[in-house]
Chains A and B, each alone.
Chain A
Amino acid sequence: MTVMTRSLPRFGGFSLGMIKLELRRLARNKRTVIFTLIFPAAFFLLFGTSADYKTEQVGGGNLTGYVLVSMAVYGAMLATTSGGAMVSIERAAGWSRQLRLTPLRPYAYIATKIVLAMIIGAVSVAVAFAVGAVSGAQLPVSAWILCGLLAWVCALVFAAFGLFMGYLLPSENVMQILGPALAVLSFAGGLFVPVDQLGSTFATIAKFTPVYGVGELARYPLTHDGNLWLAALNVIVWTALFAAGAMWRFRRDTARV
């Protein structure tokens, strides 16, 4: 190939081929698989499938179904966060520097990570729902679909969170920090225990934490309960904040070298 006939790849290097290879690598990572696919399903089986949960009605389904949606949200969160946080591991390993020696544009790299985060998020929700369906969770058909979609789409906020943290914390073990942090946020946001059981002060604070909105939105098709607009606002504001944080760190990272 001569000097003159060379050309740049399309879309800044964003490609299906890269996504496929990255997915293969992710599937090989036992920690990711356990965290994002097995944990949420196991939590659901532990906390959501007692006999009285199965008989207690919530909306058009049962309490087991309610817990299932919450756990699906939790799984999607873990999945998208770890997807975004991949940049941290790759920066720590110096891989980002290696990628600078290719035509891959930084924005195409970020886009690839977001797509990957959303793919594993979707798989996580699907696995949790499959386990739920055979373990006594009952939801109206519309809620199976809408709750699943919302749990997945709203987890985008955590893809942004993962990216932000991935650029903020250059560590190989970033998920060891973020895993517990997400568990705390899930408690604070009423994902494990409904916020009104935590006392009124806590319930008020909970509404401002990032998990609250996602949980409320995802369960809405089942419960038709709570303030939809407030929940949506929560998701939008946190997504914007985390995305801005990620952009800020990302720009610094790109400018440095």
Chain B
Amino acid sequence: MSGMTLTASPELTTAPAAVELDGVIKRFGAVTAVDGISLTIRPGEVVALLGPNGAGKTTTVDMLLGLQRPTEGTVRVYGRAPHEAVELGLVSAVMQTGALLKDYTVEETVRLTAVLFGRSRADAEAALERAGLTEVGKRLVGKCSGGQQQRLRFAMALLPDPELLILDEPTTGMDVAGRHEFWSAIREDTSRGRTVIFATHYLEEADAYADRVVFVRRGRVVADGTASEVKALASGRTVRATLPGAVEAELLAVAGVDKAEVRGETIFLHGRDSDEIARYLLTRTAARDLEITSRNLEDAFLALTADEVSK
């Protein structure tokens, strides 16, 4: 799978990288959550952090925000230690389970955030406006819908006017309309050139909003490229057939096959040219019951993030 790793070519600039992870490892006791991630994100990039649950996305985000310290390696945000970047308002976040106090109103919550960052009341009102919350400003947070609460977190994150905005599973638990509204707000905001990193497991979100996709699996980066590059990874098809006595190594040697799997009498061959593979199977082997399926992003995601055991 190493061949699938695409690295965005680094550009030489004098400005510090928005994010610089260098050999970052994070262990919790015997568990290694992040296992050697090195990643550079340039200012203005919109990056999706994709991976299954437990891949290390949230731990990585926590380290970017100074909520966790790496066991090994270094994390820099705009050239600074993460907690400094947070204090200066260079980086802010909408967290997966970001807490809100139920007995504050929406407006008070944003004003408190403004006070903490030394911003004016006008800034607070502008943030409410941008998050589309002006109408529910007087409402108690506890009485807001999940989508409204998430937009409130977004308003709070916008307040320091951060250079880098981190969104950790920002639309989890939202309905389709809520997700749409949330992303519209984000899209409008990022058009102003903010750097955005969002962790998600909704592939369509990564596809629609990211200009770079980083796949994380078991604490490592397994693929890193533009959305279109990752889509290219997802092209190709799988040919399924019944073939008793097949040997995986022999199937892998077949022209055009880049991945082969044998499960009992059923074989799964993946490759760009499925016609060629099918022709070979039908003419040169005893294979029968052929079925050809296209890979989609979902499959690419599964392929990139699945355990090696199933290969």
Contacts and interface: CB of A to CB of B under 8 A. Distances in A.
A29 interface: yes
Interface string A5-31: 011110001010110010011001100
Contacts of A13: 116
A102 interface: yes
Nearest to A19: B115
A3 B99 contact: no
Interface residues on A, range: 20 to 34
B20 to A, nearest CB: 14
Interface in A91-121: 93-95, 97-104
B132 to A, nearest CB: 21
A25 B101 contact: yes
B99 A94 contact: yes
A257 interface: yes
B89 A18 contact: no
B100 A98 contact: yes
**Residue with the highest number of chain B CB atoms closer than 10 Å, among A13, A21, A28, A101:** A101
B108 A101 contact: no
Given A94-B97, A103-B88, A24 B115 contact: no
Given A21-B108, A95-B99, A101 B65 contact: yes
A217 B297 CA distance: 73
A29 B115 contact: no
B170 to A, nearest CB: 15
Contacts of A3: 16, 78, 90, 163
A51 interface: no
B89 A103 contact: yes
Interface string B80-97: 000000111110110101
A207 to B, nearest CB: 40
Contacts of B161: 1
Interface string B149-167: 0000000100001010000
Nearest to B108: A21
Contact of A9 (B90, B100, B112, B116): B116
A217 B8 CA distance: 71
Nearest to B115: A17
A205 to B, nearest CB: 39
A98 B103 contact: no
A6 B92 contact: no
A101 B100 contact: no
A104 B78 contact: no
21 contacts: A1-B89, A3-B90, A7-B118, A8-B88, A18-B116, A21-B108, A21-B112, A25-B101, A93-B101, A94-B99, A95-B99, A98-B99, A98-B156, A100-B66, A100-B67, A101-B65, A101-B86, A102-B87, A102-B117, A103-B117, A103-B118
